[in-house]
Structure 1
């Protein structure tokens, strides 16, 4: 046969051969169309697929037989190549045959609908049919199947989404939308052309997400705010993943989150009950920051635009309360004075890092500096700080954030403390014999301008203390010429140990109220002692066996020494 075909082309009968092939295939395909048309029910697609397979095999054989004609006559005569001719004739006489065309589309769409409703269909057969349409040319697949498929899908998902949103809460609706989206992508991978994926997912996204996203985020008792309040990371993550697929989806979530954060934060910082406890006030802010940092990290993929929205919200409401700088400083003061129970240095460092996040939001950082300087001074002068390392770490953080000028006076305070320590060691080394067994003095030499200044009320020092102070003044001015000392007694502390014992030593036996009265009378020229402190000192003297309670009257005390 190959030789005969070759000879016909060689002897200029190529046109006759080509025309004969076209007419024969046309006749044959018209016969095949009747066979396919006659197939009933589920046999329709199977018959179509079987005849398509046969046609492909026959076409392959015909192309091999007419290879010479395909290589010589077809190009020179500008005719359609044999294989392409066979496909075009199949398209025109089978796929576009009126009794097959509409039926084929209806059958394919019905099977997809049934699969969407949970039925199992023959995916292999579907794959063969859609591949046939693609083999006939992308235009055939798109015009004869894909366009109506997308239109029907839009109608289906429009109705289903309306049904779901009327009966589901936000979380469950998102689960259904996610499942439908995954099903469509799986459908494409099994039996549709890969190019259909973006188109069908776009349909699902528009009908199930874009058209309902505002209603979803505002859903009462289950929308975005409830998810944020209840830390529903899975639902929030699903919302983020789905909404990011549609225009303005993420901005819808972000705007709602920002509105919620600002309203919640405004209530928090203006609540009179919260303002009663500065430490609790700041802890609430830190808890809110930690909570939403975790949500953004876990559910929103650490999206920088969401982090920026969180930061802008905190900056907005923290500055609504003009006491925020003071409260943040008081929080640091509490942690650096008391520390955390069982906390390591790393734990304290972590707390300071979190505080610095709040500090960055403050618009009036100079107000914070004013309060921080006062609180730091009290910690340093009273010796009540968890560690110098923690104190210096905080200074370094502030310096990194605001520059040297912001912390220069704070650093000067630490320098003064070290200088004072060295000075006192030298003072006692040189003056120990002169001082004898009198009261001990610990002086802090504070550089004017570095430390917070407060008006110092008049203070009458006991002669014993005044004598030691004068000895120190003479030592210091003799060591450092041209300097001036001013005593800031209001910034100091004193331990009085010499009043209860002195009274009991002379009176021997006294009741509790009399002791309180006598101690108050003797000390009121210098300060007014707290009765609670007097009671604690009495109990301490009992423990150390200076005093004892009378066995008959528990409110009566006896001197033992």
Structure 2
């Protein structure tokens, strides 16, 4: 018969009811329950081997099928409860040392019996219980165990006290049965998170806080900082190990927080400032292990590293301030800088080896060095003198790699300087004397430089009538403070550079030569009207512009820009400095104005004159300056800063059109901070000067508001 034929036949089938009711024995349910109850008791009495589980399952199945599920379920509850009350008495009667063992054994028996009972009553568990919203058999067994055993008035407190006593014994060095503890704790966890938490974990954490609070106080009173930290570290490790052996893994964070609070957080400042052994003593004595332990422990508590960093910063600043202001140390600039380098090495090692190379501590170290180095206004000079000393005679026999390491360390100090232009002023003076004096060639780095130049001129005897080229070598990453811009050098200068490049690369293998021509200077002999002759010390940019006038009396801005390819912003500042600054105006421009425009035209200023033959020529100073010389150098630096401040003001105001006084100060400081820290008083003076020269004007109503005059 096909599926369709079967369906058609089924439609016409008539279902006839029984003519006689099926009569069920009125005592069927009681009789069947008695059989099942007997079986449950036999299971509890360890006599399950003689039972037929198949027959028992069928009996339970029929009871549910005949709508006696409620009787079966309630009978189970009553039987299990009665049995567990007997078990409870047995556990209560067990002597102290066997209490946990008896509890563990009865728990194991209960679980095994519960599994067998559940197998017998599986049909009830799957049908009656869900439809009537009853507790499943296994959960019921756990709940009844909890209510009749764990929460028994004679067991609950005893169990907690026994567990806490065992933990205490273990903390005080005694050996306990961890396997038994693990089983009992797991029992509490199996009974539900609330049972584990309320019956054990919460009081466990409370007594732990009391224990570690007392212990930490004892150690603080009798031990030094290092030993106290070791004890705290040991206790933390013990608690984490305890969790892995017999506690809920989720308890680890809670118990370690207790230990951290009681043994570290509550005593942070006392540990840090502990006399003869606190943080400062660890820093002074380079105790890397103790410092590392303190860092690792303090990073676990709120604000721990902040307090650690604050105290360390304060100590470094105090130490550094003493170093840079001690009159005795200022007598020897080389020793002065060497001590700074030693201090930097010391704390770099501490941060790298003990403080996990923490960037926040490194930033604090950098901030501290910047603070105290700039307390001494002679720091730029001393750092330059240190470099000069090392390159003269302090690096004899040292490899090129070691030289680079020393110079890299010095450059870190340079980065801390606020007055970088002061260092540059001294460095140029020292470098010039080093290269030109001809008597300081004791180290290989300097000898290589001089020999290279001598060899170059010896191999090019035809250079006598051309420009004299002096080359200064700087390794990659040195202290150039301005970006490198490409531009066109005059043909005669460019030819000299190319000849030197060919010579240098031909005599050295595996090297590269990159020109930093925009950082150079030039001495130019110039003839003006009425026989005026001067030697002009100018920048490379200015040299490129001035040499164009050897072949032309008149040049437009666009012609100069095309010929030199100097970046527009640099070219305009260059032309402004030579055509618009009184006393330096070797050029004149049309139309006359205070700014440089693309339609301007430029001429040599035949009326230029100066009482000095050499215009803008610095004095070479290669030794520690006297007080008058120091004041003179500082004055020169301040003079050099004026046009830089003015140029920054003009750039800002040209872009913003109008700005109030405070914002001008802020933006000028920000623009110039890579070179020096602009003095607000000097910025104000430069603003006044620009107003006088009609670059800026004040607002008629708000006198602190300035406008740019186009």
Structure 2: how far apart are the matches of 1:404 and 1:154? 64
User: Aligned match of 1:108 in 163, 166, 174?
Assistant: 163
2:154 is paired with a residue of what secondary structure?
helix
1:449 is paired with a residue of what secondary structure?
strand
2:377 is paired with a residue of what secondary structure?
coil
Contact 2:430/2:620, CA 8 A, preserved across alignment: no
Instruction: Kindly indicate whether residue 207 of structure 2 is the aligned counterpart of residue 152 of structure 1.
Output: yes
> After the TM superposition, which parts of structure 1 deviate over 4 Å for at least 4 consecutive aligned residues?
388-391, 445-448
Partner of 1:393: 474
1:193-235: CA deviation from partner (whole Å, max 9, x where unpaired) = 0000000000000000000000000011100000001000000
Instruction: Kindly indicate whether residue 108 of structure 2 is the aligned counterpart of residue 28 of structure 1.
Output: no
1:86-106: CA deviation from partner (whole Å, max 9, x where unpaired) = 000000000000000000000
Trace 1:129-528 onto structure 2 (pairs within 5 A): 129-383=184-438, 384-385=440-441, 386=443, 387=445, 392-393=473-474, 397-399=478-480, 401-404=481-484, 448-449=536-537
1:247 is paired with a residue of what secondary structure?
coil
Structure 2: how far apart are the matches of 1:63 and 1:10? 17
1:189 is paired with a residue of what secondary structure?
helix
Contact 1:33/1:94, CA 8 A, preserved across alignment: yes
Partner of 1:75: 130
Gaps of 5+ in 1: 423-444, 452-483, 493-561
More helix by share: 1
Instruction: Kindly indicate whether residue 169 of structure 2 is the aligned counterpart of residue 88 of structure 1.
Output: no
1:389-436: CA deviation from partner (whole Å, max 9, x where unpaired) = 78623585112x54359xx9xx9xxx99x88x99xxxxxxxxxxxxxx
Query: CA offset at residue 172 of structure 1?
Result: 0.4
Structure 1: how far apart are the matches of 2:473 and 2:242? 62
Structure 2: how far apart are the matches of 1:491 and 1:234? 50
Contact 2:429/2:620, CA 8 A, preserved across alignment: no
Query: CA offset at residue 340 of structure 1?
Result: 1.6
Partner of 1:508: none
Gaps of 5+ in 2: 1-55, 450-471, 501-521, 525-535, 540-611, 622-710
Structure 1: how far apart are the matches of 2:196 and 2:57? 34
Structure 1: how far apart are the matches of 2:477 and 2:161? 74
Structure 1: how far apart are the matches of 2:241 and 2:384? 57
1:99 is paired with a residue of what secondary structure?
coil
1:417-457: CA deviation from partner (whole Å, max 9, x where unpaired) = x88x99xxxxxxxxxxxxxxxxxxxxxx9554369xxxxxx
Structure 2: how far apart are the matches of 1:446 and 1:379? 19
Query: CA offset at residue 298 of structure 1?
Result: 0.7
- Root-mean-square deviation (CA, aligned residues, Å) is 2.7
- Quickly say closer, same or farther: Cα 1:450–1:370, change in 2 above 3 A: farther
Structure 1: how far apart are the matches of 2:60 and 2:230? 63
Aligned length: 430
Structure 1 length as normaliser, TM-score?
A: 0.73
Contact 1:352/1:394, CA 8 A, preserved across alignment: no
